[in-house]
Amino acid sequence: MTQPAVSNLDLDLDAAGLFTPIEVKSLKLRNRFAMAPMTRAFSPGGVPRENVAEYYRKRAAGGTSLIITEGTLIPDPAAGPDSRVPHIHGDESLEGWKGVVDAVHAEGSAIIPQLWHLGVERGATPRFNPDVVTVSPSGIALDGSPVGRAFTDADLEEQKQIWVDAAVNAKETGFDGVELHGAHGYLLDEFLWEQTNTREDGYGGSLEARTRFPAEVVAAIRAAVGQEFAIVYRFSQWKSGHYDARLAQTPQQLERILAPLVDAGVDVLHPSTRRHWEPAFPELSGVEGERGLAGWTKSITGLPTITVGSVGLDQVFTGAWGKNSTAATTSLDPLLAQFARGEFDIVAVGRALLSDPEWVNKVQQGRLDDRIPFAREHITSLN
């Protein structure tokens, strides 16, 4: 689906507003551009080294004011499937992250790690810790098949502490906040989605019950890191391989999901979409039927929101990791129109920054024709 033409021809589509500062507790940003989290598995043994520090430093030097790192595995042996994904625990990994943080800070940008547990998406035969059983809310994969086992009550208490330990590690390492990965069918999202959460205790059933565990994780982290350390929460309607999935069928249902997270201590919400310009509830009429998921999230909660999804590119990310995948650059007018309507506060840029570390500076300088199109080789490159 291509980006729509901007309907209001009188709208001033000046990008200057995206280059104004914003401050949310410990996050102090010089502009509204963030780097979206993208896993590349370039940290053997879970340790980010000099090449990872240089990779993020280049994007900070290129104008991106907030780096959201690739997913970092929290200290649970069942958190992930790949030994090359960085950890947010262990002395060597944390020392490696300290080098990354210092390199990004030296360029005047902020950086937060994305805390990640794949839950059932780790699979039944992971390469990393293959002897550890995969765990999830109900032991049910996204396709409905049984995988691993369900959490016990004792597991849930231990799991909350694991998330807290990861967040405290991030704060002590010098990060400017944390993002919890609660999207795309991973662990926290598996609690929210009724297909993967069939629990019959207080953590399953209604929307509020399914939100209970993610909210308890947020509240526990908030108690451990204090009031001024920023907590970002990423969520999505879609799931990996299930792009038509919807947690919320209506704005009212979305409010029932988000309210407990906000009450628990979330500071910024990061609704993940595949196309930032798509309406969240297109069945509604008028302006409400045109509003994106970030716009609805901001309207419902009043919190700052991050929009994301194929920013500056003409193809969605599906298949982006596949052989010969490419995407051409495209107009930013739909993004600027959304910003002018107040639908988001920060925009996360993904593949465009993989291919072009200077992307944000080029936008600020009006050098849109100099942007570099995306190609798969930019994922596998060490740059």
Catalytic one of 55, 56, 186, 233: 186
Q: What is the pLDDT of residues 88-114, one digit of tens each?
A: 999 999 999 999 999 999 999 999 999
- Is the pLDDT at 377 greater than 90? The verdict is no
Q: Give the pTM.
A: 0.94
pLDDT at 319: 52
Q: Are 94 and 88 in contact (CB under 8 A)?
A: yes
pLDDT at 331: 86
In the chain, the percentage of residues whose pLDDT exceeds 70 is 92
pLDDT at 14: 81
HEC-encoded secondary structure of 189-226? HHHHCCCCCCCCCCCCCCHHHHHHHHHHHHHHHHHHHC
Q: What is the pLDDT of residues 5-19, one digit of tens each?
A: 554 433 446 899 999
Instruction: Provide mean pLDDT across the span 305-332.
Output: 75
Instruction: Provide mean pLDDT across the span 174-198.
Output: 98
User: How far apart (Å, rounded) are the C-alpha atoms in residues 361 and 367?
Assistant: 8
Amino acid making up residue 191: F
Query: Nearest Cα to 116, choosing from 148, 90, 78?
Result: 78
Q: Which two tokens stand for residue 299?
A: 């309207």
pLDDT at 312: 85
Instruction: Provide mean pLDDT across the span 42-49.
Output: 97
312 conformational bin, left if phi > 0, alpha if psi -120 to 50, beta if neither? left
Instruction: Provide mean pLDDT across the span 20-28.
Output: 98
pLDDT at 6: 52
Range with lowest mean pLDDT among 17-26, 134-143, 324-333: 324-333
- Mutual orientation of helices 207-225 and 153-173 as an angle, nearest 10°? 40
Q: What is the pLDDT of residues 236-292, one digit of tens each?
A: 999 999 999 999 999 999 999 999 999 999 999 999 999 999 999 999 999 999 999
139 conformational bin, left if phi > 0, alpha if psi -120 to 50, beta if neither? left
Domain 15-268+278-303+353-360: state its class. alpha beta
Q: In whole numbers, what is the pLDDT of the chain averaged over residues?
A: 93
pLDDT at 11: 41
Going by their DSSP bridges, the two strands 346-349 and 306-308 should be labelled as parallel
284 conformational bin, left if phi > 0, alpha if psi -120 to 50, beta if neither? beta
User: How far apart (Å, rounded) are the C-alpha atoms in residues 203 and 235?
Assistant: 18
Query: Nearest Cα to 181, choosing from 250, 239, 99, 252?
Result: 239
pLDDT at 310: 83
pLDDT at 78: 98
186 is catalytic: yes
